[in-house]
Structure 1
Amino acid sequence: MTETSKTQALRIAGLDCFYGEIQVLYGLDLVLNKGEVLCLFGRNGAGKTTTLKAIMGLVRASAGSISLAGQELTGLAAHEVPKAGIAYVPQGRRLFAEMTVAENIEIGLMARGKGKAVRE
């Protein structure tokens, strides 16, 4: 492992991804160094979710490379990627719309076996 691969925790080079015949990512390059925080933003349909799913192996890359600290992830099965050290937590509110915020918090605390002190 080179010094560069030690400091570059996540590297994406020339990534192309498709959904069927529709190309979504075109030669994406991205480097996330150890200790950095990276924000990936754009309009709807820009490829943000596809990028994250490609990193996790949920969408196959048709070209390019995804590596973590020098370890190639592109060919790994989706269930192998977390073992390499990457996790994906998709957005999900899982709220009960007819309940108040306080009631939703109470349900969450009950489900986790936590009491009123945690809520306060």
Structure 2
Amino acid sequence: MIHFDLTNVLRGDGITTTIIGMTIVFSGLLLISLFIRLLPKALTALDRITSPQQASASQPAPNTVPSEEEIHAAICLAIHMELERCGGDLQRITIAQRPASGSFWNSAGKMRSLSDRSPHA
């Protein structure tokens, strides 16, 4: 049977081990939080270094007027997205709707009877 005694902790360097473990965990958490905090600034600096085209982007583009096809495509996309948002699955248009055939069990019974007619089914 194991008895808990403070002298066992002191004799086995338990307090020193605890302090070292807490220091390691605290240092790891501190490094992770600093990385998360500095990540947006580092990405902004990296973006400035890797894309030198930003300086030329301040000049206006020569052809900013959209063509008629682009306008039609934007209108169709807006209508499509609005119909999906409002209707969801209920607004889907199908080519031919099946008539309501009653319950599921009724159709399952018909399928069984069809397989009984043919020996190859």
Structure having the higher Rg: 2
Q: Which has the higher helix share?
A: 2
More strand by share: 1
Q: Taking structure 1 as the reference length, what is the TM-score of the superposition?
A: 0.19
TM-score by length of 2: 0.19
